[in-house]
Amino acid sequence: MTVNNMADPRRPNKIFRYKPPNTETNPTLEDPTPDYMNLLGMIFSMCGLMLKLKWCAWIAVYCSFISFANSRSSEDTKQMMSSFIISDISSTQRNPQM
Amino acid sequence: MRHVVFLLPALLLLLALPDTRGRYNDDFDDGEDIAEFDDNDFAEFEDVSEDPAVDVEKEPPPRAAPSSTPIEDDEDEATVENEDGQDEFEDADAQDQDMYSKYDNEEFEGYEKTNPSFKDTLIYREVPAHLQNSWESYYMEILMVTGLLAYIMNYIIGKNKNSRLAQAWFNSHRELLESNFALVGDDGTSKEATSTGKLNQENEHIYNLWCSGRVCCEGMLIQLKFLKRQDLLNVLARMMRPACDQVQVKVTLNDEDMDTFVFAVGSRKAMARLQKEMQDLCEFCGDKPKSGAKYGIPESLAILSEMGEVTDGVMDNKMVHYLTSHADKIESIHFSDQFSGPKVMQEEGQPLKLPETKKTLLFTFNVPGMGNTSPKDMDILLPLMNMVIYSIDKVKKLRLNREGKQKADRNRARVEENFLKQTHTQRQEAAQTRREEKKRAEKERIMNEEDPDRQRRLEEAAQRREQKKLEKKQMKMKQIKVKAM
């Protein structure tokens, strides 16, 4: 038995399951980039739609792309797609203004 | 939420429709305008301040021209033209005749009838850029789409690179981990505790691995924190400020696996930062980081320790050898029995509980290459993992002597006392405010009482209660005095 202990440090009876770290208690661990970019994207797309400014809409598209690239895999993809759609639609409006 | 997602595009499409309808109307308007121009060829010039005679002179000849051309041209064309003229421009013709009947031919006696050369007066207006259908008018869109394509390309390339790096790291470390841990790879969702044998992908740049089932420790969480290669903005930012990939290892221990001490070693910058940020380092290691040269490790590394005995215990020959040979890759090493994470910003007026602590060993390693790493470089980190395993076994064996233990216990008691004191004042203040509120409420009730008799009685009751309290306090003071004596 002792030989086994010395040679093999593994203990199958001492297994603990993985618990994802609780981000509520440690807010510093979270990266706020995707949330900020999401919000910016929404704001710019609304601006672009209401004020008919093309450049606003293009910035919104970029913001939503950046938010998607930085997002966590656990987040809902549907929400991201909705921000994509809003900013894409507002940017494809044919407006003579720039 | 799903309904909203489907409603939003529909809403936006509805908003877009009036735009398109508007364009159709424009087309129709244009058509009508063109039709009108055929009749009033120079109607747009009517407002321009030229000789009215010249204007009028221009008008009758074109009237004459369409009427003469049917005779000259083919009969078919002529008939078509005539018919067209008759069908569409009936009203217009009638209008014109009315207009020109005003002008008497006698009026034009004396004027030389010059055939105006229409070609001279034909002005080619430039069509505005946004109505043209050429590539130039879309340069903004082309630019933006090119930028987006570049971003997407970078996303795919970066994601793949990170994925390859992670896989290379795991392949080189798999053997070592599997020989040391019963469970390698777990995402916490499966019913049975079986090794998944692969990394958890948290992000496009963060990969996790949970290992458990070993003597001397509860479990080990390895986080591969790569650079955000998938985000073009980050790539550009890194050109200004170079950064490197990091491997973070967090080993959680059972209570019996570690004695009570706090210790940290790492690069000077990291030590300075950790001492400010980390709750336990701030409380237990108050002195400035000491240079590592005293213990035989490179000058670039600094040590934070609760007491000298701990440093001597940790810094044995093998550890010194590890630290010396891999000093460039070590960002920080932190052993603590009071680990509770970074300092949490507290809200005012909230009585706190002592933060939960866990016996932990934390290792942060920098991947060499400053961002330009290739999968082959991952083998370089293998000795560091050996160091981690060695540290786990070492910490289990490391026990403080009696003095050290007493000192450590005193430190912990001191920290707890300080904490309670802080919260005590806070709790006292809270209790005081509550008492004052009660008194105020009672007074208000008494004042609001209309019946004077009842008022008097309530006031007396309040007075009696206050007196009783005072008496109790006095009794307590007397008792304390007697005990002291």
Quote the ipTM score: 0.85
Q: Is residue B208 part of a domain?
A: yes
Question: Which pLDDT score, from 0 to 100, does residue B60 have?
Answer: 46
Chain B residues lying within 8 Å of A85, measured CB to CB: 8-9, 12
Is B213 in contact with A65 (Cβ distance < 8 A)? Answer: no
Q: Is residue B418 part of a domain?
A: no
Same domain, B406 and B472: no
Is A9 in contact with B216 (Cβ distance < 8 A)? Answer: yes
Same domain, B356 and B459: no
Question: What torsion do the CA atoms of B81, B84, B85, B88 make, to the nearest 10 degrees?
Answer: -160
Chain A residues lying within 8 Å of B12, measured CB to CB: 49, 85-86, 89-90
pLDDT bin (cut points 50, 70, 90) of residue B66 is very low
Same domain, B385 and B467: no
The answer to whether A79 contacts chain B (CB < 8 Å) is yes
pLDDT bin (cut points 50, 70, 90) of residue B384 is very high
Same domain, B459 and B364: no
- Longest CA–CA separation in chain B, Å: 140
Is B214 in contact with A74 (Cβ distance < 8 A)? Answer: no
Q: Is residue B127 part of a domain?
A: no
Same domain, B266 and B213: yes
Same domain, B478 and B356: no
Same domain, B363 and B471: no
Residue range B389-403, pLDDT digits in tens: 999 999 999 999 999
Long-range residue pairs from B419-422, CB within 8 A, at least 24 positions apart, any chain: B419/B352, B419/B354
Same domain, B461 and B378: no
Nearest CA in chain B to A17: B188
Same domain, B455 and B406: no
Is B148 in contact with A82 (Cβ distance < 8 A)? Answer: no
Q: Is residue B134 part of a domain?
A: no
Does pLDDT of B222 surpass 80? yes
Question: Which pLDDT score, from 0 to 100, does residue B435 have?
Answer: 92
Same domain, B207 and B287: yes
C-alpha–C-alpha distance, residues B231 and B204, integer Å: 9
The answer to whether A96 contacts chain B (CB < 8 Å) is yes
Same domain, B339 and B398: yes
The model's pTM? 0.67
Containing structural domain, residue B469:
449-484
Q: Is residue B69 part of a domain?
A: no
Same domain, B231 and B322: yes
The answer to whether A10 contacts chain B (CB < 8 Å) is yes
Nearest CA in chain A to B233: A66
Residue range B134-165, pLDDT digits in tens: 777 788 889 999 999 999 999 999 999 999 99
Residue range B311-325, pLDDT digits in tens: 999 999 999 999 999
CA distance B222 to chain A (A): 12
Q: Is residue B434 part of a domain?
A: no
C-alpha–C-alpha distance, residues B213 and A17, integer Å: 10
Q: Is residue B85 part of a domain?
A: no
Tell which residue, B99, B103, B94, has the closest CA to residue B53. Answer: B103
Chain B residues lying within 8 Å of A78, measured CB to CB: 1-2, 5
Which residues are B302's β-sheet partners?
Answer: B266, B291
Tell which residue, A65, A61, A47, A66, has the closest CA to residue A92. Answer: A61
How many domains does one find in chain B?
2
Residue range B282-304, pLDDT digits in tens: 889 888 888 888 888 999 999 99
Question: Which pLDDT score, from 0 to 100, does residue A7 have?
Answer: 75
Q: Is residue B13 part of a domain?
A: no
